Structure 1
């Protein structure tokens, strides 16, 4: 039995639309340099997002869009500080509160954060408005912290964010101990 021409055209259109859709409902399309950079970033951090829109938001500065990573950065900073404090106490159960606080501050501080962000290329990934410097430490730190927050939300676990934090972090336990004595 032959299919009427109108139905054949509709069937062809449906097939083309189905082929154009990503295989996973949350998959990142690979149609732009930004999407390609996000895919590379996921490889670098060894974490694949189930909800890639979280990663897109994390790599979007407030100057670029109202849909940005500021709230994710709050969670990411908290996860970073928690990871550093936990590591400090695991290394020395008798550490003073001020030493643990200093270690958490140093490990999650802007200098360490900006260095880690630069190493994985965040300045070339983060979307900012013209007039905003993508290489500025507050911008790249905000994006990196938002990345940690996005991982935590995506995995529904701050533990996952802490793992990514330590993969990227530059301070070793010895450097943390040295910083604590200063």
Structure 2
């Protein structure tokens, strides 16, 4: 089956299985280490990373190298990281100049500096994947940032051009607050929230159920907090407003460009957008570990249905 997304990425390419040279014994003296339990898990992790980035490598060994720290092997991600750093800088400069051609050099350098200081936060989802020696902390800022940069370099090498690497970087930015204003500690949760069941068995269905429950519970709590004597009929009315698929899809409309579906499915369908939005709320709860944080985000950002009596809950 062909897959599709309305993001212009070439992640639909088949993965070429190559010789696993990186699974040979490390050539440096430090003992190899990974937070993954076995080498088979590393292969699974490669799949997870590709799904998270919405990009499929033609040469999977490039991704293996990108996720190999210098403490683990002499064949590591150092040079890939240098290339990836250039990709990130190109993207940031292009974005800034498109928004303001008259931006000052100081302001431009400030934007670049601010992003580099947050590089580790963007790459923290790699801490359980990158391979390091037993004496190296895989969650160290330099390790995860280096791995993230190396991935962008690996994508550029995989295609021989910068376009896909830039697109993946932009996707990563979107899930770190550019489109939906929430910064995930675990980016896999954010990406999973927009994976429709037609696209992958690893999809957003279960998280959508969680998100729907959170949203309905949030409305119920707020309604009763405002009027504990509220009738069952009025309470159900409030709940029905946020349960309405079209209203839900409107609240989640900013997710529409990110939704992954199969080729024969329209990602802008209300039920699909609503499912992704609910899953996004569920993903926030899972990321935070507290239902109240998901409820708070919902009310602060996109809880407003804009329909009739639901407005009263915001007064």
Q: Same fold (TM over 0.5)?
A: yes
Query: Could you say which TM-score interval applies, normalised by the shorter chain?
Result: 0.7 to 0.9
Counterpart residue number, 1:123: 127
- Listed as ranges, the gaps of 5+ residues in structure 1 are 1-23, 176-182
Counterpart residue number, 1:53: 61
The correspondence of residues 16-165 of structure 1 with structure 2, limited to 5 A, is: 26-27=16-17, 32-107=40-115, 109=116, 111-118=117-124, 121-165=125-169
Aligned length: 146
Structure 1 residues 130-182: Cα deviation after superposition (integer angstroms, max 9, x where no partner): 10000000000000000010011101111211111111123649x9xxxxxxx
Report SS of the residue matched to 2:128: helix
Give 1:54 shift.
0.2
Give 1:26 shift.
2.9
Structure 1 residues 34-70: Cα deviation after superposition (integer angstroms, max 9, x where no partner): 0100011101101000000000000000000011111
- Distance in 2, matches of 1:129 and 1:32, equals 18
- Distance in 2, matches of 1:79 and 1:106, equals 16
C-alpha contact (below 8 Å) 1:55/1:150 kept by paired residues: yes
**TM, length-normalised to structure 1:** 0.74
Cα-Cα RMSD: 2.1
**TM, length-normalised to structure 2:** 0.44
Report SS of the residue matched to 1:124: coil
C-alpha contact (below 8 Å) 1:73/1:149 kept by paired residues: yes
- Distance in 1, matches of 2:88 and 2:99, equals 17
- Distance in 1, matches of 2:168 and 2:111, equals 18
Larger RCO (CA under 8 A, 6+ residues apart): 1
Call closer, same or farther: CA 1:105–1:171 in 2, change over 3 Å.
farther
- Listed as ranges, the gaps of 5+ residues in structure 2 are 1-13, 21-38, 182-315
